[in-house]
Amino acid sequence: MSFPSINPTTTKAWARLQKHFSESKERKMQDLFAEDSLRASKFSIDWEDFYLDYSKNRITQETISLLLQLSEEVQLKQAIEQQFSGEKINQTENRAVLHTALRNFDAMPKEVKQTLKKMRVFSKKIIDKSWKGYTGKPITDIVNIGIGGSDLGPDMITEALSFYKNHLNVHFVSNVDGDHVQETLKKLHRETTLFIIVSKTFTTQETITNASTIRNWFLQKATILDIERHFVAVSTNIKEVENFGIAKENIFPMWDWVGGRFSLWSAVGLSVCCAVGYSNFEKLLRGAHQMDLHFKNKPFKENIPVFLALISVWYNNFYKAESEAIVPYSQYLTKLVPYLQQAIMESNGKQIDRNGKPVTYQTGTIVWGSTGTNAQHAFFQLLHQGTKLIPVDFIAFAKALHKQDVHQQMLLANCFAQSEALLNGTLDEKNEHHYKLFDGNRPSNTLLIKQLTPENLGALIAMYEHKLFVQGVIWNVFSYDQWGVELGKKLAKNTLSALDEKNTLQNKKTPTDLLITKTLETKKNSKNN
């Protein structure tokens, strides 16, 4: 069966939505609430530990039924089934998209199970200190070397699950800016540090450069034979990893049916696994799987990711909103927005549709934001009184992890007050001047989650993954490729060649590389004899 490729603007629902939009665009949400005292409970979805309140949006029952009709006309149901069943829906790369299979313990591919087992055994040894460095000392620090999906996911999750963390210090080196790697190395001791090189392709310039610099630093004191106690890799490119000097048993595989920005559920999550222990990592996967089941099985009118996507399309394509803000009221989620920026914007920032034609409508929304309450003292002025329409997702946890009731109540009060203020606005009571006028009618969703557990975090990330997929289906773009970043990579290589006339800087075998190959070969031969 071919993947649906329907231009949304040719559907009946689109034409009806357009008409509905011109008739209803001036209606104020304040009036919609006044007309229906049950609006808040009607426009909500309660699922497991999640409660989504989408009542503070410029929508009516009619908007919802037209958006649902749109989802039918673009064959969303079929698209979801095709993704989950492993069809090659990433047609421009001829690949299946199966990050959901990484967290489905009921039907897990054998190689995924084996890799999880390898991660469990390895992380246990690191945590219980039975894995020793080259001088016999246990590991105290882990450095994840990767970029994009090989960095943002594990970094975000490690930060988000700090509450569950053990004694290990985890660092992330991503930028090719040498200051990033040097500042990190300053804090480290060779004897007690484990480096995890994460690169699906193992050709990414930044990652290989950082990894080589770190390996040279390591070899200033240690020997080539010590590499196997301190360097492991996560990659699909086994040959290149071995060429780098990493022992076969220290390679954690991944597969081409897992996209970089959806890979934290794979061995890319090894640093997370070390930081919070395998059982918490598994809980993260299981939570995500629960959201997968919800997304796959629930009728669209009770389906959280589908609803979030439809509402977003409504603002993007009819109200012409250009961006969306995401504001988690949790300091643990400081890195959520950068993570989602890659997931969402790398996926849906496309202008050619699935029929190979330029689109005639807006696609990928710009996603931005940061944590509350800090954001209230930064960009919220613009949300409240600026000229742009910016729908907001508020995310909050009902119960705090640390029992800090006063703080928790203040945090929640602030979150709810902000969505209230965006909705209702207020007139300057003393009628002093217009500068104090808040017109309100500014949309938001509020997602209230019981507590920040690994399961709920997994479900939250999976929710946004599915939301972006639904948007991509509606916009008729291929969400799972990223050709747009390739040109920049190529040009950077060309420019480097121009700067590096003697050709000493680029992916060339250095004397260290040659020595490593020779030493490892000698070692292999002596083992075989």
Of 204 and 365, the one with the shorter C-beta distance to ligand F6P is 204
| All residues at 6 or more sequence positions from 517 whose CB lies less than 8 Å from its CB, including other chains | 243, 245
Order across the sheet with 392-399: list the strands.
Answer: 44-47, 50-53, 444-451, 392-399, 323-329, 366-368
Least distance from C-beta 197 to ligand F6P, angstroms?
9
Least distance from C-beta 148 to ligand F6P, angstroms?
3
**From residue 467, how far is each of 80, 161, 322, 357, 476 by CA, in Å?**
11, 23, 17, 24, 14
Question: At 399, phi and psi to the nearest 5?
Answer: -110, 135
Give dist(CA 443, CA 453) in Å, integer.
28
Reference 469, options 170, 185, 261, 202; nearest CA is: 261
**From residue 226, how far is each of 134, 135, 371 by CA, in Å?**
6, 9, 42
Least distance from C-beta 156 to ligand F6P, angstroms?
13
Residue pair 201/235 in contact by the 8 Å Cβ criterion: yes
Least distance from C-beta 215 to ligand F6P, angstroms?
16
To the query of whether residue 99 is one of the catalytic residues in this protein, the response is no
Give 141's strand partners. 169, 193
Of 346 and 353, the one with the shorter C-beta distance to ligand F6P is 346
Catalytic residue among 377, 433, 434, 508: 377
Burial (CB count within 10 angstroms: exposed 0-12, middle 13-18, buried 19+), residue 36: middle
Question: How does DSSP classify residue 171?
Answer: E
Of 197 and 327, the one with the shorter C-beta distance to ligand F6P is 197
Of 348 and 445, the one with the shorter C-beta distance to ligand F6P is 348
Tokens of 339: 């993570």
Pairing of strands 392-399, 444-451: parallel
Tell me if residue 136 falls in helix, strand or coil.
Answer: coil
Which residues in this chain contact ligand F6P in the complex, by CB under 6 A?
147-150, 199-201, 204, 207, 260-261, 346, 482, 485
Of 260 and 287, the one with the shorter C-beta distance to ligand F6P is 260
Of 13 and 145, the one with the shorter C-beta distance to ligand F6P is 145
Least distance from C-beta 246 to ligand F6P, angstroms?
15
Least distance from C-beta 106 to ligand F6P, angstroms?
28
Give dist(CA 412, CA 343) in Å, integer.
27
Of 292 and 346, the one with the shorter C-beta distance to ligand F6P is 346
**From residue 182, how far is each of 173, 192, 194, 213 by CA, in Å?**
9, 17, 16, 9
Residue pair 443/422 in contact by the 8 Å Cβ criterion: yes
Order across the sheet with 141-145: list the strands.
Answer: 169-173, 141-145, 193-198, 231-235, 251-253
SS (H, E, C) 382-416: HHHHCCCCCCEEEEEEEECCCCCHHHHHHHHHHHH
Residue pair 252/115 in contact by the 8 Å Cβ criterion: yes
Residue 196: enclosing H or E segment and its boundaries? strand 193-198
Least distance from C-beta 461 to ligand F6P, angstroms?
15
Give dist(CA 138, CA 136) in Å, integer.
7
Tokens of 499: 């700067």
Largest CA distance in the chain: 93
To the query of whether residue 346 is one of the catalytic residues in this protein, the response is yes
Catalytic residue among 282, 346, 455, 465: 346
Least distance from C-beta 65 to ligand F6P, angstroms?
37
SS (H, E, C) 469-482: HHHHHHHCCCCCCC
Of 233 and 306, the one with the shorter C-beta distance to ligand F6P is 233
Tell me if residue 141 falls in helix, strand or coil.
Answer: strand
Of 146 and 287, the one with the shorter C-beta distance to ligand F6P is 146
Least distance from C-beta 18 to ligand F6P, angstroms?
35
Q: Which residues are catalytic?
A: 346, 377, 489
